[in-house]
A and B are shown apart, each in its own frame.
Chain A
Amino acid sequence: MIPKKHVPDLIRDGNRFSDKIMREQESVRGNLAARFQEFRDSIKRDHLLWVLIALGPVFALFCIIRVYPILETIRLSFYRYHPTQRNRPFIGFDNYWRLLEDEAFRTALINTLQFCVMAVIITLVLAFAIAVLLRSIEKVAPVYELLLYIPVVTPWVPASVIWKWIFDPVHGILNYGLTSVGLPKLAWLQDEHVILYAIVLVSVWKMLGYFVVVYGVGLRNIPDELLEASELDGATPWQRLIYVVIPMMKPIILFTVIIATIIFFNVFAPVYVLTASAQGAPAYDFKVVIGEIYQNAFVFYRMGYAGAQSVVLLLFVLTLVFIQFTLFREKR
């Protein structure tokens, strides 16, 4: 059977050939008419009108809601921009120079990176271990996956609210646990050194199940023959894990590292819930990047400056994507 998509090509080639003859024999007007006819045919044959009607509005929405705002963020970062002020001068790289001297932003960046690295490593290592272990008890694995997935479907705000009560310095169950084994109470959300770990704990708890399931899918795709063959060759479970399972899982591990890094770098809701507030709730004011963008843009209305901070975030994300692409390309 001739592949269907080739048929129109043949016809089109035929048209071009006849065009050539016509150019030699007939007037230019005839040539144009033939071309117009061909164009009309292709509209009909490829349903171009339908494509335009169906895709046009959706693509326009993409431009309005995604493409334009991203470009506009970059433009804003070169202006001093207050939404209610008429005067919005172009100030070149001034926002970026200011960013370099901004103590709060530097703290936020360091905090976020620290948090991100810890959360990514703990979440992924734990998730991988659990996923591998679950493959040994395949029959009951779905039950465990389901239970681990409940925190994933819980939105960040209620999840953080639950933990805030667990972290309570006086009545919290976590401190009760500490004292009952003879350890001193910790000021989980009030101590600037401890709060980082508290937020890591919440985040790992929240996202663990997702990565267990993702790894589970990848592990199930490893052919049993490979493992059986290595087992027959006398490989210990540890060797099988290091030399068979992990190499096979490399692309998925890379994917999860990128995804987890982006998820955790955008941490905001748990920080908003668990840290100090304007009302004076007793907690340490833990700064993160999104929190700084939010403060500058929507509390102080320094939109240009916040735009520059957003561009830093954008560059971070793009760097990660670039790393992923180059590593993937090396594979092939």
Chain B
Amino acid sequence: MFRERPIVLTAYVVCTIMALLAVTPFFWVLMTALKSNPEINAWPPHVFPIQPTLEHFHRILGEENFLRYILNSLIIALSSMTAILFTSSLAGFIFAKYKFPGRGVLFAIILATAIIPLEVYIIPLYLMVFGVKMMNSYLSLVFPFVIMTFGVFFMRQVIMSIPDELLEAARIDGANEFWIYVRVVLALSKSGLMALGVFAFSEAWANFIWPLVVVTTKDMYTTELGLATYQRQFYIEYGPISAGAVISIMPMLIVFALLRRHIMKGIATSGLRG
């Protein structure tokens, strides 16, 4: 965009500084997690642990049962992702490729809820779960995350780009509509599904307020809730807290590292937020 020398130079300097600032906190928490307690509280602080130790990880995984929290988060995020991929692609397919009375109105109703954050209507959601006595269950933890307004909109865009002729050809070959959905539509929107899947997974994984509200027993804690509760109880013990932070960031970083291309493409096409 700008090829002037000083601008290019400024770009390198500024962007490098910002990128370093973005990743330094991760580096620092990892170093803290590997230090022994006296080293953590040393003043002046030093960067690298002199005697690296895994005691904090032992404590957080062994005594605090963080593995269970991670498992819970995984179960919730994966079921939410599966449900959202299914509901979004199905509804997106119908809205993209069929004409039926009331189509515009139904789509408008779904879209109207897109921008309204979960926090606005969390009380009735809670009362529903409370009313059927489903607190502390996977079902209630996943329940608000089985649909995604944005997902429907996104998949509709993706599926609209599939040519009608392909669907028509499948029909002539005797395929019914469900078969077309599975074998033509889903097969042809793989990269869109991938981007939406990553997004849905991270949304469900990172959500904090819903587990905070519907979970009261420790065995149903998610990683987020476990970490937040732990750091409130043991706010002095930065070693285990840092280890917990490192552990709870890992899964998202792995997902991001593996699928970064899909994530970036998702943002590029639609402003998906990871």
A158 to B60, CA, bound (A): 14
Residue of A nearest to B230 (CB): A161
Tell me the chain B residues, 1-40 only, with Cβ under 8 Å from chain A. Answer: 1-4, 7-8, 10-12, 14-16, 18-19, 21-23, 25-26, 28-29, 32, 40
Least CB distance, A219 to chain B, in whole angstroms: 7
Please report the total number of A residues contacting B with Cβ < 8 Å.
100
Least CB distance, B28 to chain A, in whole angstroms: 6
- Which B residues are in CB contact (< 8 Å) with A83? 127, 130
- Which B residues are in CB contact (< 8 Å) with A208? 18, 22
Tell yes or no: A47 within 8 A of B by CB: yes
Residue of A nearest to B115 (CB): A321
Least CB distance, A248 to chain B, in whole angstroms: 11
Given A171-B41, A281-B235, are A62 and B228 neighbors across the interface (CB < 8 Å)?
Answer: no
Is B2 touching A237 in the complex (CB atoms < 8 A)?
Answer: yes
- Which A residues are in CB contact (< 8 Å) with B79? none
Tell yes or no: B110 within 8 A of A by CB: yes
Residue of B nearest to A298 (CB): B213
- Which B residues are in CB contact (< 8 Å) with A152? 273-274
A168 to B14, CA, bound (A): 27
Least CB distance, B228 to chain A, in whole angstroms: 5
Tell me the chain B residues, 79-118 only, with Cβ under 8 Å from chain A. Answer: 87, 90-91, 93-95, 98-100, 106, 109-110, 113, 115-117
Tell yes or no: A245 within 8 A of B by CB: yes
Least CB distance, A154 to chain B, in whole angstroms: 5
Question: A162 touches which one: B99, B149, B208, B245 (CB < 8 A)?
Answer: B245
Residue of A nearest to B31 (CB): A173
Q: What number of A-B contacts does a CB cutoff of 8 Å give?
A: 292
Is A48 touching B100 in the complex (CB atoms < 8 A)?
Answer: yes
Is B8 touching A136 in the complex (CB atoms < 8 A)?
Answer: yes
Tell yes or no: A144 within 8 A of B by CB: yes
Tell me the chain A residues, 39-91 only, with Cβ under 8 Å from chain B. Answer: 46-48, 50-51, 54-55, 58-59, 61-62, 65-70, 72-73, 76, 83
A210 to B202, CA, bound (A): 14
Question: A66 touches which one: B10, B99, B121 (CB < 8 A)?
Answer: B121
Among B28, B124, B149, B274, residue most surrounded by chain A Cβ atoms (within 10 Å): B124
Is A54 touching B87 in the complex (CB atoms < 8 A)?
Answer: no
Least CB distance, A46 to chain B, in whole angstroms: 6
Is B208 touching A55 in the complex (CB atoms < 8 A)?
Answer: no
Least CB distance, B227 to chain A, in whole angstroms: 5
A176 to B23, CA, bound (A): 19
- Which A residues are in CB contact (< 8 Å) with B15? 130, 133-134, 137, 144
Is B147 touching A161 in the complex (CB atoms < 8 A)?
Answer: no
Given A65-B144, A68-B124, A148-B18, are A268 and B232 neighbors across the interface (CB < 8 Å)?
Answer: no
Is A50 touching B178 in the complex (CB atoms < 8 A)?
Answer: yes
Tell yes or no: A7 within 8 A of B by CB: no
Tell yes or no: A294 within 8 A of B by CB: yes
Given A133-B11, A150-B23, A313-B119, are A279 and B147 neighbors across the interface (CB < 8 Å)?
Answer: no
A313 to B116, CA, bound (A): 9
Chain B contacts to A: CB under 8 angstroms? 1-4, 7-8, 10-12, 14-16, 18-19, 21-23, 25-26, 28-29, 32, 40-41, 43-45, 87, 90-91, 93-95, 98-100, 106, 109-110, 113, 115-117, 119-128, 130, 143-144, 146-147, 149, 152, 164, 168, 176-178, 181, 202, 205-206, 208-209, 212-213, 224-225, 227-228, 231-233, 235, 238, 241-242, 244-245, 248-249, 252-253, 255-256, 260, 263-264, 267-268, 271, 273-274
> Told that A151-B25, A237-B2, A317-B115 touch, could you supply 8 new A-B pairs with CB distance under 8 A?
A54-B177, A65-B146, A72-B123, A157-B206, A165-B32, A205-B25, A277-B235, A298-B213
> Which 6 pairs, one residue from A and one from B, show the smallest C-beta to C-beta distance?
A155-B206, A69-B121, A135-B1, A133-B11, A69-B124, A72-B124
A to B CB contacts below 8 Å, 6 in the list: A54-B93, A62-B147, A155-B248, A171-B40, A217-B268, A317-B116
